[in-house]
Amino acid sequence: MNAAKRAEIFRRLQEDNPDPKTELAYDSPFELLIAVILSAQATDVGVNKATARLYPVANTPEAIYALGVDGLSEYIKTIGLYNSKAKNVIETCRILIEKHGSKVPENREDLEALPGVGRKTANVVLNTAFRQLAMAVDTHIFRVANRTNIAPGKNVLEVERKLLKFVPREYLLDAHHWLILHGRYVCKARKPQCGSCRIEDLCEYKHKTSDD
């Protein structure tokens, strides 16, 4: 895919959604961090329901740490893998309190040192909470990048690096959100909505059928 086509794709996505946001509900970098940890193998809708119960009661490292694993589990037990997530969140809160003055670190190294925080989670926090140029590649972004040919790659790290290289800089800060939303609602895994896609004429998807 050439640079002009990529630029036009993101121009249209920006035109349709000038101020894209994550669908996770949060009011602070800490709330976002916890929500993203909880979102692994879970839907944003499911996470938002759990945090809507949790955050009015506890939304700081100290308050959540005080709940303990069992106490926290009661608020998040509707989410998959809640036992292991509760342990990770409690340990993350302890580290934030003891090592970071209860603040969420604004750098990748310290973020990835937190339990339950991998590269993708760190990228979400860096980009969404701190507005840094970072690209979190989830299943939606991986699919869209490969299917459209915007930034094809065999693994998420390759796609991440290509997106950071190929997405025009003026669109890079919000590209993560546009691609996730496009993958979630239009460029779906099983049945992409090609006929109603804003960028269909620019897409290089090779396997369209009459049913698409």
| Residues that are catalytic | 120, 138
Using the structure block, give the residue that is written with the tokens 């025009």.
168
93 annotated ligand binder: no
3-state secondary structure 92-130: HHHHHHHHHCCCCCCCHHHHHCCCCCCHHHHHHHHHHHC
Please, are residues 54 and 75 in contact by the beta-carbon 8 Å criterion?
A: yes
Q: How far is CA 5 from CA 1, 18, 26, 66, 108, in A?
A: 7, 19, 34, 52, 31
Q: Could you tell me the sign of the dihedral formed by the alpha carbons of 196, 200, 205, 207, in that order? A: positive
197 annotated ligand binder: yes
Taking residue 132's Cβ as centre, other Cβ atoms within 10 Å add up to 14
CA distance 116 to 114: 6
Structure tokens at 175: 């590209």
Using the structure block, give the residue that is written with the tokens 């003055």.
101
Q: Binding site for [4Fe-4S] cluster: which residues?
A: 187, 194, 197, 203
Q: Binding site: which residues?
A: 187, 194, 197, 203
